[in-house]
């Protein structure tokens, strides 16, 4: 099983969710976070004090899929989240040791 972590722009969440549903991924976790890479932040001014705000709002998606489905899921995310502009985000893959469904104690691919 693979854990897919994707940092995407917040307004792309609905598109990515729809794309993942199309390839058969039925569950995901979304976390509101902030981050930056090459995309610069902005400056805010309060009564003459200027602050540079580096961080931008982002959404971090986490999906766990069976090994066979990983490639398809990653492709769905990258195509749906792409805008062509700096700050689109990144996708990371790692391996998962185990997955358990809490209600039924199912493990492995049945738990996904």
Residue ranges in contact with another protein by CB under 8 A: 44-51, 53
As a whole number of angstroms, the distance between CA 27 and CA 49 comes to 44
Nearest-angstrom CA–CA distance, 83 and 75? 14
Nearest approach, Cβ of residue 8 and another protein (Å): 23
Q: Which of 50, 98 has the CB closer to another protein?
A: 50
Copy the structure tokens of residue 8.
């995407």
CB of 58 to another protein, least distance (A): 19
Nearer to another protein, 47 or 103 (CB): 47
Nearer to another protein, 41 or 108 (CB): 41
Identify whether the C-beta of residue 63 lies closer than 8 Å to the C-beta of residue 20. yes
CB of 49 to another protein, least distance (A): 7
All residues at 6 or more sequence positions from 67 whose CB lies less than 8 Å from its CB, including other chains: 1, 2
């Amino acid at each position: 099983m693979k854990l897919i972590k994707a940092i995407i722009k917040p307004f792309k969440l609905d598109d990515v969710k729809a794309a993942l549903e199309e390839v058969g991924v039925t569950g995901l976790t979304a976390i509101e976070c902030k981050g930056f890479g090459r995309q610069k932040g902005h400056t805010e001014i309060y009564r003459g004090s200027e602050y540079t705000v580096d961080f931008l709002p982002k959404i971090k998606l986490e999906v766990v899929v069976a090994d066979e489905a990983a490639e398809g899921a990653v492709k769905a995310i990258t195509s749906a989240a792409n805008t062509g502009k700096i700050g689109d985000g990144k996708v990371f893959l790692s391996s998962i040791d185990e997955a358990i469904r809490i209600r039924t104690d199912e493990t492995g691919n049945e738990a996904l």
